[in-house]
Amino acid sequence: MTARQRQDGDGEGSTANRTTEPASGGLDVRLGAERLATAVDAAAAVADECRLTVGDGMAFRARDPADVAMAELRLDREAFDAYEADEATFGVALDRLGDAVSLAGDESVRLRLGEDGRFDVSAGAVEYAFAPIATEAVRAVEWVDAGSVAASATMAAGDLRRAVRAADLVADHATFAVDADERTLTVAASGDTDDVRLDFDESDLDALDAGAVESLYSVDYLRDIVGAIPSGVPVTVEFVGGGEGGCPLSLEHAFAGGDGTGRWLLAPRIRR
């Protein structure tokens, strides 16, 4: 997949066209409700609305209002039990889609674009219809793929969650650092009187590509993000760029039994 494909649709112009003529873009897919729920709940960790890009699978992309975090939840075509769809981009209110999917329980769910231009989510006897949001009214997500990676590590989602929970006990921001000599990834946070620190060495990590980086992130955002990452999957943590003032944190993990990919980008917090 190219970076181009990952962006929303083919540009604002054509996207807007599709939104105003929804009947021209067909959509009729079926997949396990739990897969769709995971993607929707994850995107909801950073925003109330997202752009749903359809084309050889589906991608939910959301950016938070303060422009600090973005999420991309991609379901490959293999994640679907049935798939018929034209390329298109929609705006989606995540609580609506989440409500609709929640009614499916653990059944298979069908997502369709109805003739009236509304989404139609059905599972068993239930059918839930709601309108898309105008695509251009939803913040676009331009994923920053370009930056070089200063350091990266792969760790268990549970370890990452534990680190964020620990930082959350003492402070509003956490420092992630990689020590190239010690070959460790450290998460640390300092409150007024308390300090917490987690050192992950190579025995704790699935992989480590160590370069010297240190950057500060908001614990609020981290907590929402790690809460949306499924338990039991390895998460690849990348420090993008790696300049003096901190660097964006990129997280990537599989979901939907390997047929989906979650990606997160979190801007560094400038040290006070």
Binding site for a second copy (CB under 8 A): 96, 99, 103, 105, 125-131, 159, 162-163, 165-166, 169-170, 193-200, 204
Closest to 153 measured CA to CA, from 212, 238, 218: 238
| Residue among 99 and 145 whose Cβ is closer to a second copy | 99
Q: How far apart are CA 73 and CA 255, in angstroms?
A: 9
DSSP 15-26: HHHHHH-GGGS-
Minimum Å gap between C-beta 110 and a second copy is: 14
Minimum Å gap between C-beta 243 and a second copy is: 27
Q: Pull the structure tokens for residue 240.
A: 């993008």
Q: How far apart are CA 93 and CA 138, in angstroms?
A: 9
| Residue among 192 and 244 whose Cβ is closer to a second copy | 192
Closest to 94 measured CA to CA, from 153, 37, 44, 23: 44
| Residue among 67 and 115 whose Cβ is closer to a second copy | 115
- Rg of the chain in Å (alpha carbons): 19
Minimum Å gap between C-beta 159 and a second copy is: 7
Minimum Å gap between C-beta 82 and a second copy is: 20
| Residue among 29 and 185 whose Cβ is closer to a second copy | 185
Is the CB of residue 152 less than 8 Å from the CB of residue 236?
yes
Closest to 195 measured CA to CA, from 171, 177, 172, 179: 171
| Residue among 129 and 233 whose Cβ is closer to a second copy | 129
SS3 call for 268: coil
Q: How far apart are CA 159 and CA 112, in angstroms?
A: 38
Minimum Å gap between C-beta 163 and a second copy is: 8
Minimum Å gap between C-beta 109 and a second copy is: 13
Minimum Å gap between C-beta 200 and a second copy is: 5
Task: Give just the sign of the alpha carbon dihedral 9, 11, 16, 22.
Answer: negative
SS3 call for 101: helix
